[in-house]
């Protein structure tokens, strides 16, 4: 029986495309390629970026732009130093380069912004699914927004890789879709992240 490697799956093809888009400096020039992601102590913890106020278990949105605006507003409300309009513009610019909706109902809208002093994030779930030009045509149900400092690409790219790796897991996605609310969704993300780190250390 033939088995398909994880690295050859459509999801990870999309992750590689996202990574290529992320590897741009402030002038739009390509940066040095980042090797395949592996969990390390230097990697930003995804669970530490989120709190209950940044998790939306019931997202009502007409489409991709509505999702981006809603999540950017939530990030700005929780992080007063973030300008929602600038964040929306940066995220839309990234979407114009290539969709950040991957496969299996996952989208990871992301951007680097001048003036940010840390990586910020928000997470949302849509019961009905959002039409988002996904790589497999499936409506997007799990959306993880990520924005990082323009002058600190390393930690941001590690976090982006970590989010991609986490949401590539079918068990993680199923648990997130079945979670009762924001507290349980956040607990699932942290538990699955811890499980992945334990497995990596044991390998």
Q: Give me the active site residues, please.
A: 110
Sign for the pseudo-dihedral over CA of 71, 99, 156, 201: positive
What's phi and psi for 30, nearest 5 deg? -65, 140
Contacts of residues 39-42 at CB distance under 8 Å and 24 or more positions apart, as own/partner, are: 39/162, 39/196, 39/197, 39/200, 39/201, 40/158, 42/155, 42/158
Euclidean distance between CA atoms 188 and 190, whole angstroms: 5
Nearest to 21 by CA among 116, 156, 121: 156
| Cα atoms in the 13 Å half-sphere on the side-chain side of 69 | 7
Burial class from Cβ neighbours inside 10 Å (0-12, 13-18, 19+) for residue 148 reads: buried
Q: What share of the chain is helix, strand, coil (3-state, %, to 5)?
A: 50, 15, 35
């Amino acid at each position: 029986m033939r088995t398909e490697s994880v690295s050859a799956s459509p999801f990870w093809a999309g992750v590689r495309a996202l990574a290529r888009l992320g590897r741009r400096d402030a002038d739009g020039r390509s940066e040095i390629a980042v090797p395949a992601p592996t969990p390390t102590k230097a990697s930003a913890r995804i669970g530490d970026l989120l709190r209950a106020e940044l998790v939306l278990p019931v997202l009502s949105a007409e489409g991709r732009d509505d999702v981006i605006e809603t999540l950017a507003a939530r990030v700005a409300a929780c992080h007063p130093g973030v300008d929602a309009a600038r964040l929306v513009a940066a995220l839309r610019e990234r979407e114009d380069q290539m969709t950040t909706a991957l496969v299996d109902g996952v989208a990871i809208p992301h951007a680097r912004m001048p003036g940010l002093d840390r990586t910020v994030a928000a997470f949302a779930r849509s019961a009905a699914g959002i039409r988002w030009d996904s790589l497999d045509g499936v409506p997007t149900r799990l959306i993880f927004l990520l924005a990082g400092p323009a002058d600190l690409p390393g930690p941001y790219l590690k976090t982006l890789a970590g989010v991609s790796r986490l949401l590539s897991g079918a068990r993680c996605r199923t648990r997130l879709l079945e979670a009762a609310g924001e507290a349980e969704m956040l607990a699932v993300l942290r538990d699955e992240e811890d499980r992945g780190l334990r497995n990596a250390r044991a390998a």
